[in-house]
Structure 1
Amino acid sequence: MRVTQSMLSNNTLRHISQSYERMAKTQEQLSTGKKISRPSDDPVVAMKGMTYRTNLTEVEQYKRNLSEAYNWMENADTALDKANSVLQRIRELTVQASNDTLEDSQKQMIGKEITQLKEHLVSVANTQVAGKYLFNGNDTTTKPVDLATNSFSSNQNVVELELSKGVKISVNINPTNVFSYDLFDDLSTLETALNSGSNGIDSNLDILDKHINNLVAERAELGARYNRIELIDERVSEQEVIANRILSDNEDADIERVITDLKMQESVHRAALGVGSRIMQPTLMDFLR
């Protein structure tokens, strides 16, 4: 086989060009910190990256759902705590009013305070978070309690959020167990009895105790769900760490190795240029021009 000067020159230029390509790819890995910049660089890494990124996106969505669940349940628990304080105060006033030595004017003063407490209880029942009513089932745009129109929520539909793969948790409470028509009707009856100076006020204590027990039971059930959500949050946080690590192992370049490869390719490239300069010597044609 006859080897000519042009064959040597072309081979040298081709190898030098390939050396530039390898150096460019290594420099790109060093600057981006990624193994690949396009699917054609490594289809297997690209396909795995799509799967891992989908898993990470799901976990991030669960984290957002958990934040929303905490927002719902913490505000609901705070509202129930306020409602419990109001009912306990009403009970104290009822015990005080049960004293037969009180005059009618004194009972009326107690009745006026209960009126204010009842109105405060309405505002608690109509608690909103981000423009959504907490205590009206899944109808978050309608006020659950309105004394002016004598309307009370009967919506027992749950508001569920998916907090993990296939795990949905209710984040609201049943308003009919807490802010029911019976509660406000009983408070109105107590209010009327006090304003009229009626006897037998102590008969309302058992009724108040029933409403307080309903509220405490609903709050305890909410607390149990809150504890479960905290456990789910811990597991999802661990899944997020694992998903990020797997994605990093699949896509992120080993910087130390990339730097070593780049140094080696620079040395090889310099050697190739040195050899090429010796091979591509002037020929007879250069002197005949």
Structure 2
Amino acid sequence: MRITQGMLSNNMLRNINSSYSALDRYMDQLSSGKKINRPSDDPVIAMKGMNYRTEVSNIEQYDRNLSEMYNWMDNSDDALNEATEALKRLRDLAVQASNGVYDEGQRTNIAEEVDQLKQHLAEIANTKVNNKYLFNGTKTTGNTVNGELQKPVEIDEDGNVIVTRGEEDYNAVLIEVTAGTRIQANVNPDNVFAQELFDELEAFSELLKSGAPDAEIDQYISVVDKHINNVVNERAELGARMNRVDLIKDRLSSQANSAKRMMSDNEDADIAAVLLKLTSQEAVHRAALSAGSRVIQPSLIDFLR
């Protein structure tokens, strides 16, 4: 085969263009810090990168869900702790009123404190966080009664406490914390702020005001103990779920670190290796230019200048 000057020139230009492409690729990797800048550079890396990014995005969403979960649980636990303290005070008052040393006026004063604690428990039952009622199931904006939106617990003009939520209305608030795993974020208000609690406290107050014998007042010690146990049991169940959420958060943190590391290994360029390749390619490019200058032989035109 006859080799012509045109063939030499074309081959030389094609190889120099290829050298420029390699230089451009390494410069892109250095400037972006990534192995590829478009899917066509390496479809396999691009597809793996999409999968890793999806995984990281899902983990970040679950982490945001966990923050919402902690918000519900921490505030619910604080409210239940406050309710426990109020009930303990009610028990102390029941013990004091039943020991026979208080006269009718003093028992009336105790009844007034019972009324205040009853209303305090109603306020705890209406606890709102981020404009959501914690103790009203999924009806976080309130209950609709006769077409009107009301709090979970209402206090009328006479100081009577009315629970507007029916037992059949309660629904657990479930939050997805990992793929396919949903955990209850709230507590069952029927176990701690039922109508029975407020009715029995109202009856206790009326009994104190009526001058009833000590034996009748004494029975309310066990009544208050029952409600204290209800709150403690609900807090224990809530605490068990909080412990599980802590374990899930630790696992998600490990998964996030692993996914980000794999994504980095897949996409991020090895800067030291790219610098070495770039330096080597620059040397090759200079050699190609030098060789090309020899390929383009002088012509008659060069001597006619």
- Give the Cα–Cα distance (whole angstroms) in 2 for the partners of residues 281 and 193 of structure 1: 119
User: Identity over the aligned pairs, expressed in percent?
Assistant: 54
AA of the residue aligned to 1:117: L
Aligned to 2:194: 180
Amino acid at match of 1:50: M
* Corresponding residue SS for 1:282: coil
Distance (whole Å) between structure 2 residues aligned to residue 63 and residue 278 of structure 1: 64
Find the counterpart in structure 2 of residue 112 from structure 1. 112
**C-alpha distance in 2 between matches for 1:287 and 1:198:** 132
Bigger mean CA offset, 217-226 vs 145-154: 145-154
Quick one: which amino acid aligns to residue 14 of structure 2? R
1:236 is aligned to: 252
Which residue is 1:145 aligned to? 153
The aligned runs of 1:217-236 (5 Å cut-off) are 217-236=233-252
Residue 174 of structure 2 corresponds to which residue in structure 1?
160
2:228 corresponds in structure 1 to: 212
Partner of 2:27: 27
Partner of 2:146: none
Deviation at 1:157, TM superposition (A): 1.1
SS state of the match for residue 169, structure 1? Answer: strand
Does the CA contact (< 8 Å) of 2:29 and 2:269 recur in 1? Answer: yes
Task: Give secondary structure in 2 for the equivalent of 1:168.
Answer: strand
Give the Cα–Cα distance (whole angstroms) in 2 for the partners of residues 278 and 135 of structure 1: 87
C-alpha separation in 1, matches of 2:117 and 2:251: 42
Aligned partner of 1:45 in structure 2 is 45
Root mean square deviation of aligned Cα = 1.5
Cα offset, 1:288, TM superposition: 4.2
CA drift of 1:193 comes to: 1.7
Secondary structure of 1:26's partner? helix
Superposition deviation, residue 171 in structure 1: 0.9
Match of 2:265 in 1: 249
Count of matched residue pairs: 289
Q: Note the C-alpha offset of 1:110.
A: 1.1
TM-score if structure 1 supplies the norm length?
0.95
Q: Where does residue 303 of structure 2 map in the other structure?
A: 287
The residue aligned with 1:3 is 3
Tell me the equivalent position of 2:74.
74
Structure 1 CA distance for aligned equivalents of residues 163 and 28 of structure 2: 67
Q: 2:72, 2:185 within 8 Å by CA — same for their partners in 1?
A: yes
Gaps of 5+ in 2: 143-150
- Residue from 284, 294, 302 that aligns with 1:268: 284
Q: Which amino acid aligns with 2:211?
A: G
Pair 1:195-2:203 in alignment: no
Does structure 2 retain, via aligned residues, the 8 Å contact 1:160–1:169?
Answer: yes
Gap runs ≥5 in structure 1: none
1:97-130 Cα offsets, whole Å, 9 max, x none, are 1132211111111111111111111111111111
Distance 1:223 1:78 in 2: 12
Distance in 2 between residues matched to 1:146 and 1:261, nearest whole Å = 75
Flag as ranges the 4+ runs of structure 1 deviating above 4 A: none
SS at match of 2:182: strand
The alpha-carbon deviation at position 3 of structure 1 amounts to 2.8
Asked if 2 retains the 8 angstrom alpha-carbon contact of 1:26 and 1:262, the reply is yes
Could you tell me which residue of structure 1 aligns to residue 148 of structure 2? none
CA distance in structure 1 between the partners assigned to 2:175 and 2:2 by the alignment? 77
Q: Which moved more, 1:268-277 or 1:258-267?
A: 268-277
CA deviation after TM superposition for structure 1 residue 208, in Å: 0.8
Q: Partner of 2:145 in structure 1?
A: none
Q: Post-superposition shift, 1:5? A: 2.7
- 3-state DSSP of counterpart to 2:138: coil
